[in-house]
Structure 1
């Protein structure tokens, strides 16, 4: 299915492709893998190249406010792109939701996390990694889940915070934390769990993680930035995004 969609994308975007350009894109850490694949599609179909900076949405926002020369932001929430519009730093009307994320509890140990997430109540781990809830929407979602399960007091001494969801994943991947709340996209490959064990957190336990893209004022006339925004909204790229564990 994805191969066929990629072929359609190639045919669609190659026709009349403009002169190749380059754009700097700020990308929420949960979307680090999908954006690599999207960059490859963009370059193959248009010749345009992406220079990608990955980080926590809150920190990327701070960098943009401080003059970082990004042309596009792919955030992990809707609030940050809206705020950039209000700040006068984004093109009005350019925002759209490119994905809806899913939170999972994951361990590199294939026997650690059960399918119901009971490990959170029964213990059996020393450290639980989450992203910083002040700067990373997935971290805020993890805190919301812990609170709704009534486990804040129990789990608080075990929490270790990563600057981004990428760092939270690395804590669990390297064994510095036995379990971590991460994005489903970080642990899936070809639509299936790459390794370890996970609990897919019911979406009733946290607010929807809608992720918006926005064109920044610095990218308003950048052909590569405009082509990326167009590609993200095309039907041809949605199978790729879904295969990484997102809803559209």
Structure 2
């Protein structure tokens, strides 16, 4: 009798596991480079929670929009701004009503050299450097925010000849970390540690009043409408588990202090 019950329980578990796996799907996601570490961790949690998996591609928001306008295969888009997802929605490439702000980014002036960048960003005025890296402001919202900061500090004209432009925020980080630029503007999420502080080098977290908020929006793309993993991922981004990961990497959340 006990053996029969055990056998039935075992078969039931197998059927449940089979059902879970048979419903699992994979979603192809275009992710802004600043969100690389964060989204990699979220994708792992998403798979554990839902059985679905996410294939992630990282790059600049502007480049992804260009790819999507030319038939790119992505099903979900996590941008570094709000304007690019809105543009896709208006052009019919994204699903109406699916767009929302998943994170609010923080900009940091960072150097791999300890003590080079002071905690007030005064080095931008002193000009004691020869190369300043930032993401191409035409392609990357963090680069556009950096331009706005320098303009508001009245140092843009003086610093512009020193610019080293990265195609995206990941390449910008590489320029700085390898010494090709002494310092530069990147996302706080790229250098933040578990204690919420910058892990290495030196940096100045740019006050939010020096640039427009970096509202990062996600949107369901038309190619993901029939894929159950696509809306599931967007729903998971709103979950307490995902939001805790987002906060851990230094982002703010919409509607929360």
Same fold, judged at TM 0.5 (above): yes
Q: Does 1:172 align with 2:176?
A: yes
Q: Does 1:28 align with 2:28?
A: no
Q: Does 1:136 align with 2:140?
A: yes
Q: CA deviation at 1:236?
A: 2.5
Q: Does 1:242 align with 2:219?
A: no
Whole-Å separation in 2 of the counterparts to 1:94 and 1:165: 26
Larger-Rg structure:
2
Residue equivalent to 2:96:
92
Residue equivalent to 1:196:
201
Whole-Å separation in 2 of the counterparts to 1:120 and 1:170: 20
Q: Describe the SS at the equivalent of 2:120.
A: coil
What do the CA deviations read for 1:153-208 (whole angstroms, capped 9, x no partner)? Answer: 21011111000111111100111000010011011121221211100111111000
Whole-Å separation in 2 of the counterparts to 1:83 and 1:153: 31
Q: 1:17 to 1:192 in 2, by over 3 A?
A: farther
Q: Describe the SS at the equivalent of 2:149.
A: helix
Pairing of 1:102-181 with structure 2 (within 5 A): 102-181=106-185
Q: Paired residue for 2:47, among 43, 47, 61?
A: 43
Whole-Å separation in 1 of the counterparts to 2:20 and 2:161: 55
Residue equivalent to 2:5:
none
Unaligned runs of 5+ residues in structure 2 are 1-16
Q: CA deviation at 1:17?
A: 5.7
Q: CA deviation at 1:225?
A: 1.1
Whole-Å separation in 1 of the counterparts to 2:97 and 2:175: 38
What do the CA deviations read for 1:72-121 (whole angstroms, capped 9, x no partner)? Answer: 00001111111111110111100000000011100001111000001111
TM-score by length of 2: 0.88
TM-score by length of 1: 0.92
Residue equivalent to 1:6:
none
Q: Describe the SS at the equivalent of 1:189.
A: coil
Whole-Å separation in 1 of the counterparts to 2:226 and 2:240: 24
Query: Aligned residues, how many?
Result: 234
Q: Paired residue for 2:69, among 65, 68, 77?
A: 65
Residue equivalent to 2:235:
230
Whole-Å separation in 1 of the counterparts to 2:116 and 2:246: 28
Whole-Å separation in 1 of the counterparts to 2:38 and 2:46: 12
Q: Describe the SS at the equivalent of 1:207.
A: coil
Whole-Å separation in 2 of the counterparts to 1:72 and 1:122: 43
Q: Describe the SS at the equivalent of 1:213.
A: strand
Whole-Å separation in 1 of the counterparts to 2:157 and 2:50: 52
**Aligned Cα RMSD in Å?**
1.4
Which runs of at least 4 in structure 1 moved beyond 6 Å after TM superposition?
none
